[in-house]
Amino acid sequence: MKKKYWILGMIMTIVFSAFPSTGTAAGDGDIPEELSQLYARSAVLMDADSGRVLFGKDEDVVRPMASTTKIMTCILALENMQEDQVTAASDHAASQPKVRLGVKGKEEFRIKDLLYSLMLESHNDSAVVIAEGIAGSVEAFAGMMNEKAAELGCSDTYFVTPNGLDGYDEGGTHSTTARDLAAIMKYCIKDSPKKEQFLEVTRTKDYSFTNVKGDRSFSCSNHNAFLTMMDGALSGKTGFTADAGYCYVGALERDGRTFIVALLACGWPNNKGYKWKDTRKLMEYGVANYEYQTVWQDMKLKDVNAERGIEKGNEFGGDAKIPVKIADADKEFKVLLREGEKVDITCDVKKKLAAPVEEGTKVGTVTYTLDGEVLRQFSVVTAQSAERKDAGWCAEILLKKLLMQ
């Protein structure tokens, strides 16, 4: 088996050396010198708060992702399992190939225990037991995975298995992109209602448990070397199959900034360490070059004309002028930027409205963009109301003026 992988690794190395690919930093097409020699065929450095890709190399190329799949399996289990839920292993689960926990058919486990087996040791049989316990079958659980991927905007991701083994069905091949994989990790550590539980599981160093019956004991150790590689390492998941090569997705938090790295096809045996070298390069680049900057700008907005609107002191004049304001203004609005990057601000506000107009009516937007990507939008609304000048209102005003004479 080792000889087979060595031969495969040599073939992949020769092929990839003949067809080098390039990456791009956010903001321009220049490749930072320190990132010009990445091993991974696809790579992403992402700002975990905004989801913005700070650096990408073939980030939208679809590739198999091996056991990095299990971050989706874990988060879906956390979000859908019942407290202390127990499930029995099927013969199908027990037949999964290495790496495996060694479950036996009909043996019962607590799903919360199997999550540590899944994420620390990457056991393929545990992934199937979890999937069947949550959804009833692997196929049904894969459906849940694909539904969640669609919700997250991961349009180039397709799940067939809960463990990431190479496979396909009538829907396609088990695969993702570096961009999508990073987006899934962002959801796991930032957006999911179970993000704290996800981090607790994936950061655990060692974990021991038994089956429900208590007649077999198991111990798990975390194989995510990145957790001790850099200060601030948060979470991560390794992966390898013959088709996928070595893969990795991980997150780091430093000085209020959170970065995600996703790597696909990052070498084959005997190059297991490539993924750690690429991860460190990308994380160090993010830490050294990106800082939060306040980008909010106060804007003077012109009044909006309300046709046939009533304006105090100008009842019989022309249109009313209604002041406008930015709703939910955020003077602390910050963006993770590197030197030379500039946020553009555009304001699009209607020039005229037809009275009557209620206070708080949306009349436009202020948009903050970076390299054409929308960072945030604020609504522009009317700061006061304006009634409409109709025949009845005019008659009432004339009558009041006549009575005052």
Q: Which residues contact 76 (CB under 8 A, 6 or more apart)?
A: 134, 141, 144, 145, 148
Q: Is 237 annotated as a binding residue?
A: yes
The CB-side HSE value for 398 (13 A sphere, CA atoms) comes to 7
As a whole number of angstroms, the distance between CA 249 and CA 236 comes to: 5
Clarify whether 67 is annotated catalytic: yes
DSSP-based three-state secondary structure for 234? strand
Choosing from 42, 57, 70, 148, the catalytic residue is 70
The alpha carbon dihedral of 72, 65, 61, 22 has a sign of positive
As a whole number of angstroms, the distance between CA 162 and CA 268 comes to: 22
As a whole number of angstroms, the distance between CA 342 and CA 192 comes to: 31
C-alpha 300 chain-centroid distance: 35
Clarify whether 70 is annotated catalytic: yes
As a whole number of angstroms, the distance between CA 233 and CA 263 comes to: 16
Strand 304-307 and strand 352-354: the pairing is: parallel
In 217-332, which ranges are continuous DSSP H helix? 274-289
As a whole number of angstroms, the distance between CA 73 and CA 116 comes to: 12
In contact, 377 and 366? CB cutoff 8 Å = yes
Q: In the β-sheet with 352-354, what is the strand arrangement from edge to edge?
A: 320-322, 304-307, 352-354
Q: State the catalytic residues.
A: 67, 70, 122
Q: Which residues are annotated as a binding site?
A: 237
Q: Which residues are annotated as a binding site for substrate?
A: 237
